[in-house]
Amino acid sequence: MPSFVKGGGNTAPFGPREYLRSTREFLTNSATFAASTFPEVTIDGEKEKILQPGMALAKITSGDDAGKVGVFQVGATDGRADVDNLVGLNDTFLPYQLKDGDHEVAVVYGCVAVKDWCTQLDSSGAVIKITEAVADGLRGGQSLEVKFN
């Protein structure tokens, strides 16, 4: 006989994060995201690569992925640790697709965002809130119009 269990099981909830103050007016470009630069996390015992909206993106300037973008990461040696290489904030939610390779993402270069909702990677690959230096790079970078409130 069929049954129903309230709560739906024992899986960890996840979904796209909000980072914009308003979705009314924001400007985007597209870019190829380098899947090899993004760390895996373990969710419910499975290794996944989950790219969230609101992550600071930087241009990769060296190595096999040069010309693509990746999440700004402290200590990265491929250009992603340089605030001068920031291109904007990610607006694409990729909950598993990066396991299959590179993907196109929408890069927001003009918007009003909530600073505490935006993220980057630390030197170990853990997701952290963007630092003031990264926020300043997004505010004042060439061709960037990101405002925080």
The count of residues in the chain is: 149
DSSP label at residue 53: T
Token code pair at residue 125: 């690959």
What is the radius of gyration, based on Cα positions, of the chain?
A: 16
Tell me whether residue 20 is in a domain: no
Q: Specify the pLDDT at position 10.
A: 63
Residue range 125-134, pLDDT digits in tens: 999 999 999 9
Residue range 56-100, pLDDT digits in tens: 999 999 999 999 999 999 999 999 999 999 999 999 999 999 999
Tell me whether residue 82 is in a domain: yes
Counting the structural domains of the chain, the total is: 1
CA 72 to chain centre: 8
Tell me whether residue 16 is in a domain: no
Q: Domain range holding 143?
A: 27-148
Tell me whether residue 12 is in a domain: no
pTM of the model: 0.91
Tell me whether residue 78 is in a domain: yes
Tell me whether residue 40 is in a domain: yes
Q: How far, in Å, CA of 46 to CA of 76, rounded?
A: 26
Tell me whether residue 31 is in a domain: yes
Tell me whether residue 35 is in a domain: yes
